């Protein structure tokens, strides 16, 4: 099977051939999230998927850019809240992180870790980022996975690809794994196994961390993760807090 992103390349790995009607594949886009948000506004519904071989303005969290050269997997899902078995929509990013780790394990056999909330790491380097946004009553879940590209010098200390020189079908198989999970009406995101797995894959627990929120930075210890995927931290003054968002790094 070729590495060309195409419906026929995905088809052998989709659990339901009907999903193909909802998948839009491009050679290059500014951002799959941006295109999907526009599509949501013109009537596309739950389960619409946009994939691109490259992005010219890939977006990350906090207004950052996401390096998106040709050969990566840039995929966005339009998800309607009421169509997902999910009580808290704020949890979707964390759940997506587990689903990416599972897909990577299944397709290339490697175990990846999660840096709260949603960066996926292999050998301490970021291989995937996730950006969740809302449009009207829906969610746009955007996942960017570095599949095989080389990284420029300014990034290659912190970022890497999951499978440099990847086997031709890796990208299609990972895309299909994610599509099967997010489009299946049977996926139960409340499953306790997902929570346990997220916690097991988390890199931070028990470590001293630096939390960055808006304009402030402070030190803390990462104690635990609660069932809604908030990070429980203990600050230096002894107070314990549950963080819903923010950026954390291990204190060195
Ligand atoms: C991050 O690391 O801060 C999140 C990066 C999210 C990148 C993905 S790639 C597919 C989708 N389209 C975008 O423009 N961003 C997300």
CA-wise closest residue to 39 among 63, 22, 62: 22
Q: What percent of the chain has pLDDT over 70?
A: 98
Whether residue 67 is found in the same domain as residue 134:
yes
Classify residue 143: in a domain, yes or no: yes
Is residue 26 one of the residues assigned to a domain?
A: yes
Ligand 1 atom at minimum distance from 119 CA: 2
CATH of the domain at 155: 3.30.930.10
Domain holding 238, by residue range, is 204-250
In a domain, 65, yes or no: yes
| Distance (Å) from CA 200 to ligand 1 centroid | 24
Taking CA atoms, 120 is separated from 5, 96, 100, 148, in Å, by 22, 10, 8, 15
Phi-psi region of 216 (alpha: psi -120 to 50; beta: other; left: phi over 0): beta
154 & 214 share domain: no
> Do 137 and 222 lie in a common domain?
no
The answer to whether position 164 is within a domain reads yes
Does one domain contain both 182 and 237? no
Burial of 111 (0-12, 13-18, 19+ CB in 10 A): exposed
Clarify whether residues 138 and 176 are in a common domain.
Answer: yes
Please state, in angstroms and as integers, the Cα–Cα distance from residue 115 to each residue in 72, 107, 179, 211, 214, following that order: 20, 21, 23, 13, 19
Both 228 and 143 in a single domain?
no
Residue 58 maps to a domain: yes
Angstrom distance (rounded) from CA 181 to CA 170: 17
Q: Give me the helix-helix angle, 192-201 and 92-108, nearest 10°.
A: 70
Sheet holding 216-225, edge to edge: 240-243, 231-235, 216-225, 208-213, 247-250
Asked if residue 78 lies in contact with residue 44, where contact means CB atoms within 8 angstroms, the answer is yes
The residue contributing the CA closest to ligand 1 atom 16 is 142
Q: How would residue 175 be classed by pLDDT, with cut points 50, 70 and 90?
A: very high
Read off the pLDDT of residues 67-108 as tens digits, 9 standing for 90 and up.
999 989 999 999 998 888 777 777 899 999 999 999 999 999
What's CA 78's distance to the chain center, in Å?
Answer: 14
Same-domain status, 194 and 72: yes
Co-location of 239 and 156 in the same domain: no
Tell whether 235 and 221 lie within a shared domain: yes
- Ligand 1: distance of its center to the CA of 223 in Å? 28
CA of 30 to the centre of ligand 1 (A): 11
* Ligand 1 neighbours (beta carbon < 6 A): 31-33, 55, 58-61, 64, 66, 74, 76, 129-131, 142-144
Cβ proximity of 162 and 146 under 8 Å = yes
CATH number of the domain enclosing 230: 2.30.30.100
2 is a domain residue: no
Over 70: is that where the pLDDT of 224 sits?
Answer: yes
pLDDT at res. 125:
94
Q: How many domains is the chain partitioned into structurally?
A: 2
Mean pLDDT of the chain: 92
In a domain, 1, yes or no: no
- Put residue 229 in one of left, alpha, beta given phi > 0 → left and psi -120 to 50 → alpha: left
| Boundary (domain end) residue, out of 183, 199, 215 | 199
Q: Are residues 25 and 149 in the same domain?
A: yes
Pocket test for ligand 1, best of 5, 40, 66 (most atoms within 8 A of CB): 66
For the chain, the distance separating the N- and C-terminal CA atoms, rounded to the nearest angstrom, is 44
Tokens of 89: 């929509």
The reply to whether 195 and 235 lie within a common domain is no
> CB-based burial of residue 96 (10 Å sphere; 0-12 exposed, 13-18 middle, 19+ buried)?
buried
User: Do residue 152 and residue 243 come from a single domain?
Assistant: no
- What whole-number distance in Å separates Cα of residue 14 and Cα of residue 112? 23
Question: What is the band of 252 on the pLDDT scale with cuts at 50, 70, 90?
Answer: low
Q: What is the pLDDT of residues 13-53, one digit of tens each?
A: 999 999 999 999 999 999 999 999 999 999 999 999 999 99
Task: Tell me the C-alpha distance between 33 and 177, whole Å.
Answer: 19
């Amino acid at each position: 099977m070729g590495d060309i992103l195409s419906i026929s390349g995905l088809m052998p790995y989709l659990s339901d051939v009907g999903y193909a009607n909802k998948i839009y594949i491009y050679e290059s886009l500014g951002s799959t999230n941006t295109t999907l948000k526009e599509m949501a506004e013109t009537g596309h519904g739950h389960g619409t998927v946009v994939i691109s071989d490259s992005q010219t303005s890939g977006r990350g969290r906090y207004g950052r850019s996401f390096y998106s050269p040709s050969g990566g997997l840039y995929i966005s899902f339009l998800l309607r809240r009421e169509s997902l078995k999910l009580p808290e929509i704020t949890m979707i990013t964390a759940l997506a992180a587990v689903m990416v780790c599972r897909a990577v394990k299944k397709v290339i056999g490697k175990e990846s870790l999660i840096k709260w909330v949603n960066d996926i790491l292999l050998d301490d380097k970021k291989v995937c980022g996730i950006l969740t946004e809302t449009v009207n009553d829906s969610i746009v879940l955007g996942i960017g996975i570095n599949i095989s590209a080389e990284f420029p010098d300014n990034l290659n200390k912190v970022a890497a690809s999951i499978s440099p020189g990847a086997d031709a079908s890796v990208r299609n198989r990972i895309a299909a794994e994610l599509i099967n999970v997010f489009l299946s009406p049977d996926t139960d995101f409340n499953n306790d196994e997902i929570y346990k797995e997220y916690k097991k894959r988390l890199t931070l627990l028990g470590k001293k961390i630096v939390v960055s929120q808006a304009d402030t930075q402070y030190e803390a210890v990462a104690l635990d993760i609660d069932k809604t995927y908030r990070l429980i931290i203990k600050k230096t003054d002894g107070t314990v807090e549950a963080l819903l968002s923010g950026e954390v790094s291990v204190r060195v």
